[in-house]
Amino acid sequence: MVLARRSPGFTLFIDADDTLWENNVYFDQAITKVTSSVARHGHSATAFRETLLTLERARVRTHGYGLANFRHCLELACQARLPEPGLAAVLQVVDREVSLLARRGIEFLPGVTETLRELAWRHRLILLTKGDHDDQLAKVARSGVHLFVHRVDVVREKDAAAYVDAVRRHGVRTGMGWMVGNSPRSDIIPALGAGLNAVFIPHPATWALELAQIPDLTSERLLVLERFEELTAHF
């Protein structure tokens, strides 16, 4: 579907996971299931979680944010923490939980589709999501969000260079671009660093690796909102 726009307006780059729809809460649930299984086999749940986070922190740089890497991190953490017997049973839980994640339905946050529909009349909306290309496009297809935005852009990492590149590729004029998202580390800090304005919409279940201190919360180039649907009052 080609969306029409009434006026050129701004270019709004919009994050997907935990901005438009629930995401990390499902990963947390999968980790909880695996951790419970680890604990049932007599091993420390806390140590397992610490090992997992350390592995994720180390591996996202080289292996990205996809489900395949999540599965591998869980498997490596199990192998690091559990001897046989028990390991095989916990690995079965890993397999089941990651398989469920791969095909679970998309649950939009409140008011998201209505808000996108309204914003699309006034502004150019570009879904800008990072991660495994196939994983992210599968979520876009399952959600139908491509019907509400003008473009979908999947990048491997959302750092300042990626935002500079997105601004260039999409021909965004100075002062006319905004990044909307829940992640200080991936959406807000690098977008501001690349010269974009930003809208920070915190999500309580944001992944630990996405958290960071935003240097200046009072910046004129930064808007902080509680809910996605508040965007229509500002744009």
Let me know if 62 is exposed, middle or buried by CB neighbors in 10 A (0-12, 13-18, 19+). exposed
| Residues contacting Mg ion: total by CB under 5 A | 6
Name the minimum Å distance from CB 205 to Mg ion.
Answer: 10
Binding test (CB under 5 A) with Mg ion, winner from 18, 75, 97, 135? 18
What the block records as the tokens of 64 is 């990205």
Nearer to Mg ion, 38 or 140 (CB): 140
| Binding of residue 135 to Mg ion (CB under 5 A) | no
User: CA–CA separation, 105 vs 103, rounded Å?
Assistant: 6
| Binding of residue 143 to Mg ion (CB under 5 A) | no
Name the minimum Å distance from CB 210 to Mg ion.
Answer: 7
What the block records as the tokens of 146 is 């491509």
Q: What residues contact 15, with CB distance under 8 A and at least 6 apart?
A: 128, 129, 179, 180, 181, 182, 183, 186, 187
Nearer to Mg ion, 15 or 135 (CB): 15
Task: Provide the mask over 164-193, with x wherever binding to Mg ion is found by CB under 5 A and - wherever it is not.
Answer: ------------------xx----------
| Binding of residue 17 to Mg ion (CB under 5 A) | yes
What the block records as the tokens of 221 is 């180039």
| Binding of residue 132 to Mg ion (CB under 5 A) | no
The amino acid present at 54, given as its one-letter code, is T
| Binding of residue 15 to Mg ion (CB under 5 A) | yes
Nearer to Mg ion, 16 or 120 (CB): 16
User: CA–CA separation, 29 vs 185, rounded Å?
Assistant: 23
- Region near Mg ion per CB under 5 A, out of 13-21, 135-143, 189-197, 227-235: 13-21
Name the phi and psi angles at 197, rounded to 5.
Answer: -85, 170
- Residue numbers at the binding site for Mg ion (CB under 5 A): 15, 17-19, 182-183
